[in-house]
Amino acid sequence: MAASSISPRRLANKAGRAAARELGPQAPADARRRSVLDAARTAFFELGMDKTSMREIAQRAGYTVGALYSYFASKEEVYGALLAESLERLNDSVERAAAGRRSEAERVQRAATAFFDFYRENPRDLDLGFYLFQGMKPRGLTPQLNEQLNARLRAALQPTQDALQALGLPSKLALAEVTALFAHTVGLLVLSHTGRIRMFKQGSRELFDAYLGQLLSRATGGQEA
């Protein structure tokens, strides 16, 4: 306990921030913001919403609590950024799935399933969405951010909608179908995530496939699926 020694805690912190700095001297703030976000995501995925405090995030990021407020104005802003990131991953996943030369029917099936699977495999992203889209006022979810997030959410459904239109559905109907599909997807995910679907002894994946089959049947007038 000599006065000149450095506590292990401190060392860990310094090590923890190394990655952020190694990304280069330009835009170091962005990189550090990232590292905070990474810590937040990890914490949130491990501990869930309630138990993820600013302290916890700071600790994992290798910062002190106060430092977080250099990058984010509030806890909710952190979650806002987290959700933005999550939606980016969602879009990547959907785009990757729908890419390539395929029939439009297959494109519908692949895009929609990618959306479903993304949340089925990452239920914490679902939590994230609900948390922010539900209750959050003070500072975090500004109208601008809200608009932006909505746009990214819509974007993730766009490939499906486009493919439905390409299959011959009029745009109004395509929109209605994609909205219904979105709802069905969310419903299945929520029920699955809260364990309610087990009580019906059903599997969420099978139900999703069935719904998708019916949708495609409607869209192709019974010619395809």
Partner DNA sequence: CATGAATGAGAGTTCATTCAT
Partner DNA sequence: GATGAATGAACTCTCATTCAT
Instruction: Give the footprint of a copy of itself on this chain (CB under 8 A).
Output: 3, 26-27, 48, 50, 130, 133-135, 150, 153-154, 175-176, 178-180, 182-188, 190-191, 193-197, 199-202, 204, 207, 210-211, 214, 218
Distance CA 57, CA 44 (A): 9
DSSP at 198: G
**Taking the complex as a whole, how short is the minimal distance between the CB of residue 168 and a copy of itself, in angstroms?**
18
Q: How far is CA 164 from CA 105, 159, 170, 176, 179, in A?
A: 8, 9, 9, 11, 12
Q: How many residues does the chain have?
A: 225
Burial of 113 from C-beta contacts in 10 A (0-12 / 13-18 / 19+): buried
Q: Which does 179 bind (CB under 5 to 8 A by kind): DNA, a copy of itself, none?
A: a copy of itself
Query: Which one of 74-82, 125-133, 186-194, 210-218 is the stretch in contact with DNA (CB under 7 A)?
Result: 74-82
Residue 60 near DNA by CB under 7 A: no
Residue type, position 146, single letter:
N
Q: Which does 194 bind (CB under 5 to 8 A by kind): a copy of itself, DNA, none?
A: a copy of itself
Q: Where are the alpha helices (DSSP H) in 62-122?
A: 65-71, 75-98, 104-121
Binding region for DNA (CB under 7 A):
7, 9-10, 13, 17, 28-29, 32, 51-56, 62-67, 69-71, 73-76, 138-139
